[in-house]
């Protein structure tokens, strides 16, 4: 039986709950709900131990705030004895149009502070990541306000459509590998009714 670590990045606290920067937490919540698990407050994060077709999936929401995410990821990797190739980090991405998925086997942090800290802490960028596009509808100097801003009503509808696909993408990643997940799920959000 393989064991996987799925990490949803975000910031703790009710003021951040519905922000674009917390899409990692939101996807993690949906995954755990789908798998019939529940989060427990643990050292450096909220953790859920779940099962999927005989595989063990540990789902983590770090409580270190985004900029120190690597501390929590590293701790739970060691605690659960999960190798680097069985880790998936879910994060928001302003470089992708809203609702677009980009699953990658490795890559740069792309300016994302959560990924930057994970890379610095693990001393490698060779881990899988699931980038969830949040768009870039902001003016010069307004990036922080945008990612820490609330979803619009239109975006909330789009998110509801995309959440099931996000969970299916993670399941495919765990059961069939990152290449299969990329081929099936990378790309823009489908139009309603398609």
- The model's pTM is 0.93
**Angle CA(125)–CA(57)–CA(96) in degrees, nearest 5?**
45
Rounded alpha-carbon distances, angstroms, from residue 155 to 20, 98, 140, 148, 160: 10, 8, 22, 14, 9
Mean pLDDT confidence for 139-165: 89
Instruction: Provide, rounded to the nearest whole percent, the portion of the chain with pLDDT above 90.
Output: 75
pLDDT reading at 37 higher than 80: yes
21, 112, 123, 154: the catalytic one is: 21
Q: In percent, how much of the chain has pLDDT > 70?
A: 96
Arithmetic mean of pLDDT, 22-31: 97
Structure tokens at 121: 């802490």
pLDDT given for residue 193 in this prediction: 47
Among 23, 31, 182, CA closest to 104:
182
Q: Is the pLDDT of residue 65 over 90?
A: no
pLDDT of residue 189: 73
The answer to whether the beta carbons of residues 104 and 182 sit under 8 Å apart is yes
Determine whether 14 is exposed, middle or buried from the number of CB atoms within 10 Å of its CB (0-12, 13-18, 19+). exposed
What mean pLDDT is reported for the chain? 92
Q: Which CATH architecture has domain 3-185?
A: 3-Layer(aba) Sandwich (3.40)
Q: In terms of DSSP H, where are the helices of the chain?
A: 23-34, 69-80, 113-122, 143-147, 153-176, 178-185
Please indicate whether residue 21 is annotated as part of the active site: yes
Residue 192 confidence class, pLDDT cut points 50, 70, 90: low
Segment 181-185 shows an average pLDDT of: 94
Q: Return the SS3 of 143.
A: helix
Q: pLDDT, tens digit, for every residue of 71-119?
A: 999 999 999 999 999 999 999 999 999 999 999 987 777 678 889 999 9
């Amino acid at each position: 039986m393989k064991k996987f670590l799925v990490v949803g990045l975000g910031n703790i606290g009710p003021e951040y709950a519905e922000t674009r920067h917390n899409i990692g937490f939101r996807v993690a919540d949906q995954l755990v709900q789908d798998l019939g698990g529940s989060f427990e407050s643990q050292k450096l994060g909220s953790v859920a131990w779940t099962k999927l077709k005989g595989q063990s999936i540990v789902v983590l929401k770090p409580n270190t705030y985004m900029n120190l995410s690597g501390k929590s990821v590293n701790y739970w990797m060691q605690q659960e004895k999960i190798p680097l190739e069985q880790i998936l980090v879910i994060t928001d991405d302003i470089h992708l149009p809203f609702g677009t998925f980009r699953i990658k086997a490795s890559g740069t942090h792309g300016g994302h502070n959560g990924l930057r800290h994970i890379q610095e802490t693990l001393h490698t960028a060779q881990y899988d990541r699931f980038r969830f596009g949040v768009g870039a509808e902001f003016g010069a100097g307004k990036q922080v306000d945008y990612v820490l801003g609330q979803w619009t009503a239109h975006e909330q509808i789009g998110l509801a459509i995309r959440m099931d696909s996000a969970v299916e993408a993670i399941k495919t990643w765990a059961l069939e590998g990152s290449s299969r997940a990329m081929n099936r799920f990378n790309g823009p959000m489908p139009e309603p009714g398609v």
